[in-house]
Structure 1
Amino acid sequence: MSNTKLFIRKVLIVIGSIALVTSLGFSGVMYIGNRSLERTNKEQSDKLAKRDKQIDQLNRTKTDDESQLASMRDQLHSLQPDYDTLKQSVGAFATQAAACETIKQSLNIKS
């Protein structure tokens, strides 16, 4: 019976050793996986923070562009009467130039 107890003890020691080595190996793999996930998490957090800054900058740029657009629209509305007057003056000048050219041709005047 002593041999049987000794054999059972050795088998239990081997099974315990295998379980311990397996546990250590699994713990190592899990540790490496955890470190990899932490690194990935930090990289994604940094990217997210960078994107948040870019969004804030784009929002500021958008606000500036909108105010500049409103200013340009105001300028356009204030210059519209001058443009209409200039357009009418150029049209009248073109009509007058055409009339002068017609008179010049009817009188056979060479320039």
Structure 2
Amino acid sequence: MNKAELIEAVATKTDSTKAQTAAMLDALMATVQEALTKMDAVQLVGFGTFAVTERAGREGRNPATGKTITIPAKKVVKFKVGKSMADAVANSKAKVAKAR
């Protein structure tokens, strides 16, 4: 499901216009991004938690040359799924979609 499909599905479920739903989704994403840039976690009970963690620097290899390279430390966003969401997915009868 892409953003346009998500907007259409939410608009249908909430009996809102696509424009209103798109504005709300954009505001939600901007608000989550602002919180994460301030290193605040965003917890949506039953859905999951977005949080920023520090990934340590490490040694890696260039797959083309085999040369050792240093991969620097960086901040990354992690998502931990909530129990209700995990249970719903685990009990789903739908086929697993292949990554595009």
Structure with greater Cα Rg: 1
- Shorter-chain TM-score bucket reads under 0.3
Q: What TM-score do you get using the length of structure 1 for normalisation?
A: 0.23
Query: Which of the pair is proportionally richer in strand?
Result: 2
